[in-house]
Amino acid sequence: MNLILVLAAILNVYADTSNGTISGNSTITTSSNATISNSTVTAPNPCSGSIIIAGQTDLNNFSSYHCSTFDGNITIIGVSDMSNLTLQTITGTLKLQANTFSAITGLSQLQYIGKELIIDNNAQLLNLFGFDNLRIINYGLTVTNNRNLITINGMLSLQSILGNSEYSLGVILVNNVDLRSIAGLSKITSIGNTIYLSGMPLVSNLLGFPQAVMRVRNITIDNMYGIGTVDPLSNLLSDLSGTTVSITNTKLLQNVDGLSGLSSIVNLNIYKNAALSSIAAFSSSNVKGSIHIDDNGALCDFNGLDKLTGANITNTCGIPTVLNQGTVFQPAASTSVRSTISIFIGFLILLVLMK
């Protein structure tokens, strides 16, 4: 009898539970047909966000979504083949870093990048062909540390780099040690606010920049050993105000004639240019602002210095201080005169010793 009662009790509990109610000291009411009416669970959009594609498997998985527009930023690292991509628009930044491909594939449909295009440390990359339809980069183009990159001609469709007033962005080419030419940007009608060229010793000229007048805020040419002239920059500099210009560590640059159109600048820095012998370009300019010219051993022609208000010129032509805040400090005798005097004194000493 007791066993029967226990079984009956168990059956009653089961029956109550199946109806959604468990009774005791507290009551929890449930429903087997319950729905969540005030919220919707949806899968994340694979074509938006800030994503890092790390490796070929990740890229193959991303390609399966067939994104034509990506709303956000994409970083691609460590892949060998991008041919399955179908991107046409990226609203943020596209960064290609430390990949093993030798050529750009899969981006021939890409037309617009909303922020930056960054191509960094792709050791086997030889050229930038593959951006066949890329016309607009909103913020800037940065190509750095690609040791085997020979040409950037693949950017021939690029029409505009709009720049951003909050950041120093435009065209930044740095430490592409095998790059031979910067030709390939000639069709651009705007170039952002910055030109930064550094660490590319095999580039022999600056031909390839657009010839339209543009307002560039920062220009840096550093460790460009093969550059003999800055004349190709003359159009870019012809209507500048409030710009910083730095030309440092060149071996062949003999003059700065391409800077003759400068009107008003914030900073001008000319350092360690071994062959620089003339700054006469400034003689027709009314340059104001901070000007520093230092360690240019061959520069002995100081024509134009009367125009350099507030300039500092040091360690030039063997003279520790040539000009300080607009005051010229010429030596008592020129270098050639000092050399002649030294030779004459040596000759007199030799005559005395021979007697």
Q: Which amino acid is at 84?
A: N
Contact (CB, 8 A) for 323 and 303? no
User: What CATH code would you report for 213-331?
Assistant: 3.80.20.20
Which range in 1-10, 32-41, 162-171 is most confidently predicted, on average pLDDT?
162-171
**Segment holding 69, helix H or strand E:** strand 69-77
Which range in 109-123, 179-193, 291-305, 331-345 is most confidently predicted, on average pLDDT?
109-123
**pLDDT, tens digit (0-9, with 9 covering 90-100), for 311-339:** 788 888 877 776 655 555 444 344 444 45
The reply to whether domains 46-202 and 213-331 share a CATH topology is: yes
Residue 40 has a pLDDT of 53
Q: Which CATH architecture has domain 46-202?
A: Alpha-Beta Horseshoe (3.80)
User: Mean pLDDT for the chain?
Assistant: 80
Round to whole Å and give the CA distance between 110 and 117: 11
Higher pLDDT: 308 or 294? It is 294
> Among 217, 148, 151, which Cα is nearest to 185's?
151
Residue 342 has a pLDDT of 54
Indicate if the pLDDT at residue 278 is higher than 80. yes
pTM: 0.78
Comparing 32-36, 38-42, 61-65, which segment has the lowest mean pLDDT? Answer: 32-36
Indicate if the pLDDT at residue 165 is higher than 60. yes
Q: How confident is the model at residue 106 (pLDDT cuts 50, 70, 90)?
A: very high
Higher pLDDT: 39 or 243? It is 243
* Tokens standing for residue 250: 């060149």
- Break the chain into its structural domains and give their ranges: 46-202, 213-331
**pLDDT, tens digit (0-9, with 9 covering 90-100), for 220-263:** 999 999 999 988 887 766 656 567 889 999 999 999 888 777 76
